[in-house]
């Protein structure tokens, strides 16, 4: 086994004595339609280690599905290398790809890909029949998998009678069936309501808890999925533009509390949280002067005042107004103070002469 030394975000060193399940280097993919060329991927590098749940997040058309298709051998890249558990898959022939998909990779397709004429149990059993698993083992495993995705009560129902969320969980159980090392999922929460999306996230999290040597890669445009990711790559125009660390409990709480603060306003018992979130620049920008996302510096942002009529009270004497910037490129939500009012001194837009 090789041993790598990796730098973690906290700047200390962690030893990883495991080989990556996914090792992608310099992937380019060009689609040609008549005379028009679309460069769907331009230089993607990615390593996923056992135990990692990785999310790739980006807008529609950014190359997410193309990347998954290349990872699973369904598409060939124009350049670059793709290794799954050390095996270069870009050179595999059709039989090799089939074996890879049977043994090592479970795919959750965006449109479920369920067989309508089979029951839920029949759908989950199918991949195991294809890979010649013994009947007794198959039947036991079907029960276990349907239980794991909370569909045991739907065992003998056909897909058409299931809700969107249930279909998606069934598709996930199917992807787990042959016990693959890697699960890849394309927009698993795109076609379901928010409660079903939460349930799907729980299923993925539980899977990782019970299978610490496997990995999951999810591509999505849904920022919610960041909550279960060990880290998130933001993809734009076929390139990774930013890596976002795991959302830890504190940062989740901060995000929630900053939203809450916008509502909680005058009745705030939460001064501490507001004060903590407040940056104290000497000059505050006007809303019209904010042109770039504070996180990724993109110009593709939505700006609004947190609330035009209501102000947040902070410290003892300052009233502040904040702008919300929602970035369409990196998905970050930022809050910037755009005005401040000192109750005692009556000054607006500056704290400079205090
Ligand atoms: N088979 C194809 N032929 C031509 N262009 C394609 C094909 N598949 C994808 N593309 C183009 O490649 C880009 C990335 O597409 P895709 O990977 O599907 O993005 P995403 O999944 O992020 O929405 C888009 O511009 C899309 O139109
Ligand atoms: Mg897609």
158-212 pLDDT, tens per residue?
Answer: 999 999 999 999 999 999 999 999 999 999 998 888 888 999 999 999 999 999 9
Q: Supply the pLDDT for residue 110.
A: 83
Q: Which residues line ligand 1 (CB under 6 A)?
A: 31, 33, 38, 40, 58, 60-66
Confidence band for 23, pLDDT divided at 50, 70 and 90: very high
Confidence band for 84, pLDDT divided at 50, 70 and 90: very high
pLDDT above 60 (res 13): no
Confidence band for 353, pLDDT divided at 50, 70 and 90: very low
Weakest mean pLDDT among 53-57, 60-64, 74-78, 263-267 = 263-267
Q: Rounded to the nearest whole angstrom, what is the distance from the C-alpha of residue 75 to the centroid of ligand 1?
A: 12
Which protein residues have a CB closer than 5 Å to ligand 2 (ion)? 64-65
Q: Rounded to the nearest whole angstrom, what is the distance from the C-alpha of residue 181 to the centroid of ligand 1?
A: 27
Which residue is closest in CA terms to ligand 1's atom 6? 31
How far is 118 from 269, CA to CA, in rounded Å?
56
- Alpha carbon separation from 133 to 130, 193, 351 (Å, rounded): 8, 35, 71
Candidates 107, 28, 98; CA nearest to 69 is 107
36 neighbors 28 (Cβ within 8 angstroms):
no
Weakest mean pLDDT among 66-70, 119-123, 323-327 = 323-327
Q: Rounded to the nearest whole angstrom, what is the distance from the C-alpha of residue 110 to the centroid of ligand 1?
A: 14
Q: Supply the pLDDT for residue 283.
A: 61
Six-digit token string for 122: 């029949």
Nearest atom within ligand 1 for CA of residue 221: 22
Q: Supply the pLDDT for residue 344.
A: 62
Which residue is closest in CA terms to ligand 1's atom 18? 65
Tabulate helix, strand, coil % of the chain (nearest 5).
Answer: 30, 30, 40
User: Domain coordinates of the chain in residue numbers?
Assistant: 4-249, 261-342
Weakest mean pLDDT among 47-56, 128-137, 272-281, 338-347 = 272-281
- Ligand nearest the Cα of residue 109 is 2
pLDDT above 80 (res 70): yes
Q: Supply the pLDDT for residue 299.
A: 83
Q: Supply the pLDDT for residue 317.
A: 62
Q: Which range scores top for mean pLDDT: 94-98, 322-326, 336-340?
A: 94-98
Q: Rounded to the nearest whole angstrom, what is the distance from the C-alpha of residue 32 to the centroid of ligand 1?
A: 11
Length of the chain: 354
Residue with tokens 């755009």: 338
270-329 pLDDT, tens per residue?
Answer: 444 444 444 444 467 778 888 888 888 788 888 887 654 444 545 556 667 778 888 887
DSSP 8-state symbol, 299:
S
How far is 149 from 147, CA to CA, in rounded Å?
5
Which homologous superfamily does the CATH classification assign to the domain defined by 4-249?
A: P-loop containing nucleotide triphosphate hydrolases (3.40.50.300)
Tell me the sheet residues that pair with 243.
233
Q: Supply the pLDDT for residue 342.
A: 62
Residue with tokens 């969980």: 169
Whole-number percent of the chain with pLDDT over 90: 51
27-45 mean pLDDT: 94
Six-digit token string for 74: 């369904």
Q: Supply the pLDDT for residue 256.
A: 31
121 neighbors 142 (Cβ within 8 angstroms):
yes
- Ligand nearest the Cα of residue 41 is 1
Q: Rounded to the nearest whole angstrom, what is the distance from the C-alpha of residue 30 to the centroid of ligand 1?
A: 9
232-275 pLDDT, tens per residue?
Answer: 999 989 999 888 888 764 444 333 333 323 222 222 334 444 44
Nearest atom within ligand 1 for CA of residue 238: 14
Count the Cβ atoms, other than its own, within 10 Å of residue 276: 12
Higher pLDDT, 63 or 282: 63
Whole-number percent of the chain with pLDDT over 70: 76
Candidates 301, 308, 307; CA nearest to 332 is 301
Q: Rounded to the nearest whole angstrom, what is the distance from the C-alpha of residue 221 to the centroid of ligand 1?
A: 15
Candidates 317, 318, 336, 316; CA nearest to 326 is 336
47 neighbors 70 (Cβ within 8 angstroms):
no
- Ligand nearest the Cα of residue 69 is 1
What is the best residue among 33, 38, 190 to mutate for testing ligand 1's pocket, by most ligand atoms within 8 Å of CB?
38
How far is 45 from 79, CA to CA, in rounded Å?
12
Q: Supply the pLDDT for residue 251.
A: 44
Tell me the sheet residues that pair with 107.
184
Tell me the helices (H) and strands (E) count for the chain, helix number first: 8, 16
Six-digit token string for 235: 């993809």
Q: Rounded to the nearest whole angstrom, what is the distance from the C-alpha of residue 48 to the centroid of ligand 2?
A: 20
């Amino acid at each position: 086994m090789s041993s790598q030394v990796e730098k973690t975000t906290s700047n200390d060193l962690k030893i990883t004595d495991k080989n990556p399940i996914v090792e992608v280097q310099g992937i380019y993919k060009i689609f040609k339609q008549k005379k028009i060329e679309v460069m769907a991927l331009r230089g993607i590098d990615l390593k996923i280690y056992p135990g990692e749940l990785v999310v790739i997040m980006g807008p529609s058309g950014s190359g997410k599905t193309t990347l998954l298709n290349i990872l699973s051998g369904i598409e060939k890249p124009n350049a670059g290398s793709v290794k799954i558990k050390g095996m270069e898959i870009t050179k595999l022939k059709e039989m090799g790809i089939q074996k890879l998909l049977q043994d090592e990779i479970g795919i959750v397709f965006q449109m479920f890909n369920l067989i309508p004429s089979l029951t839920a149990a029949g759908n989950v059993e199918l991949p195991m029949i294809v890979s010649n698993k013994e009947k007794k083992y198959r039947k036991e495993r079907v029960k276990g998998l349907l239980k794991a995705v909370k569909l045991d009560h739907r065992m003998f129902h056909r897909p058409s009678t299931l809700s969107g969320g249930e279909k998606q969980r069934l598709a996930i159980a199917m992807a787990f069936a042959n016990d693959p090392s890697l699960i890849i999922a394309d927009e698993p929460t795109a076609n379901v309501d928010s409660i079903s999306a939460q349930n799907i996230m729980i299923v993925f999290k539980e899977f990782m808890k019970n299978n610490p040597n496997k990995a999951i890669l999810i591509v999505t445009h849904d920022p919610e999925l960041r909550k279960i990711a060990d880290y998130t790559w933001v993809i734009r125009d076929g390139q990774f533009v930013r890596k976002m660390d795991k959302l830890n409990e504190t940062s989740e709480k901060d995000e929630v509390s900053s939203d809450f603060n916008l509502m909680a306003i005058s009745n705030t018992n939460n001064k501490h949280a507001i004060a903590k979130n407040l940056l104290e620049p000497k000059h505050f920008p006007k809303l019209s002067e904010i042109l770039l996302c504070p996180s990724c510096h993109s110009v593709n942002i939505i700006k609004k005042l947190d609330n035009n009529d209501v102000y947040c009270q902070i410290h003892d004497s300052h009233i502040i107004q904040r702008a919300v910037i929602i970035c369409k490129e990196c998905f970050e939500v930022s809050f910037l103070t755009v005005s401040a009012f000192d109750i005692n001194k009556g000054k607006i837009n500056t704290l400079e002469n205090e």
